[in-house]
Structure 1
Amino acid sequence: MNQHIIQKAKETIAIEAAAIQRLSGFVDEQFEATVRAIYQSKGRIVVTGIGKSAIVAQKIVATLNSTGTPALFMHAADAIHGDLGMVQRDDMVMIVSKSGESPEIKVLVPFIKNFGNPVIALVGATDSFLAKEAQFIVPCSVEKEACPNNLAPTSSTTAQMVMGDALAVALMTLNGFDGKDFAKYHPGGNLGKRLYLKVADVYVHNPQPKVLPNASLKEVIVEITQKRLGATAVVQKNNTIIGIITDGDLRRMLNKSSTLENINAADILTPQPKTIAADTLAVEALEVLKKYDISQLIVAENNTYLGIIHMHDLVREGII
């Protein structure tokens, strides 16, 4: 019985994967014309559907909005009971449907066309009512559903979702939508932080451990212990950076030295430490830490010491 479950699950994945691969054949001049029409539109793209296709339409709207193409969702059943008022003069309307023959779609399409709004059919059946009435067609037909009875929307909704992503990503390219734009629309959560949080937003909350080059071993240990960042900067009196001393440097020194007398900071420090500018993205600081397998970075401006950012800071902020 368990083997039967595993087999059916794998068959479902294989059938849906094949359906997605088949979509490449539908990305042609007609697809390009649709993308360019949306790009050149002065209005929004209103995406609608019925049943499972309505759920897919909502996802497509969310993806379009988050990638720079203004969009809104309109349920096809609600549209013919008042929600058509959300469609403005310059908007385009994309209807998501497998059959293109749903009663709600057949009622809705003539109204949209009477308003003068272009209709895009993201449709499985290219010989359907919807396809024939639309100005733009984005085919997403599948050979069969993953459902054993070939009834429940499975492969077809997956294909709709993927074709919606293809449209969104193509529009991103035309719009020149980049990481900075993405951050504007995703300010919350860890994803947003990766896109806007800077080193300056993090290190300022930390103490600023530092010692002069002639500081005694005891002074170095006390500074590292009290500031609890696992390191201290070694600086001149004018705050110019000379080096860094980490917990590891102390352990290595203790392992090598037979006597601890007369040892000062200059004898232990690592010169030319890795530094980062305060206006750098925190995620870039993470990449430096990972690249050099270190736990802290000195924050500096023109070799002037500002503070330290630690790997733990990035964990706390959700960057990792």
Structure 2
Amino acid sequence: MRFRLTDDQRALRAGVREVLDRRFGADALRAAVAKPVLDRGLWRALGEAGFFALRLPEADGGVGLGLPEAVLAFEEAGRALLPGPLIATCLAAGTVPGAAEGETVVAMADGGLVEWWGAADVVLGGDGSGAAVPMRSVDPLTPLHRVSGVSGTAPRASDPVASLFTAAEQLGTAARACELAVGHARTREQFGRPIGAFQAVQHLCAEALVRVEVARVAVYAASVTGDAADIAGARLLADEAAVQGARDCLQVFGGMGFTWEAEVHLLLKRAWVRARRAGGGPQGAELLARELLSGAG
């Protein structure tokens, strides 16, 4: 089985990155951190670009592509730290009016937590109406609410596709952390030479790159097979790549990485929040273990 990207897939990835660079660059990221309000204009622009309708059949007004192409788009979203309930809105395209076009913002319950509750027009995955209590989120770009009951139906956050999209976002964040670490190691000087000349820093960067590439292979393969066990394995690897990669990036940056002005801490905080979503951690490990034990007879 070949996993090399086609020309069309590379063009799609480049196109998504171009849109995000133009609509959600460094200045927009800083503005979002200062005031975490969902940008409806950006949301509609994503809808016009076909972001939410990538997997929707052309007959239904979608782009008509597959899971691998959607994964590439979510990887770029993770790289840009794009805020908002992207996965829920994408999964709701075709079932919730306006979701595919970016006119309707859709969130979903995840173990009693809902990301972007106040900004969403529709919340899916609950078992009845209930109150929402705001929670303090470690990530300033991901407001959280604890919800006792939500009106709506599936998809739920435990959907394997939702977990795969989370893995793709984590992969993008891990790749960005690796890029920042390497770039800083090349330009930051101590004792008269770049810190990248020191073996300890080289090891941090090399290990981050290995984690990114291993996770990338797993995520891309899972997007082709669509197998639940493959997705669980990819999610575990992507979560590790994002969280540990951001930690190592902080080590490379030193004290400056912890400052509010640096982007590095935002990568780590978002990776922490995503890693807590359904499908990762013990849940994913148990699913993968069951599959492996089943295969062993």
What TM-score comes out, normalization by structure 1 length?
Answer: 0.24
Which has the greater radius of gyration? Answer: 1
Give TM-score, length-normalised by structure 2: 0.26
More strand by share: 1
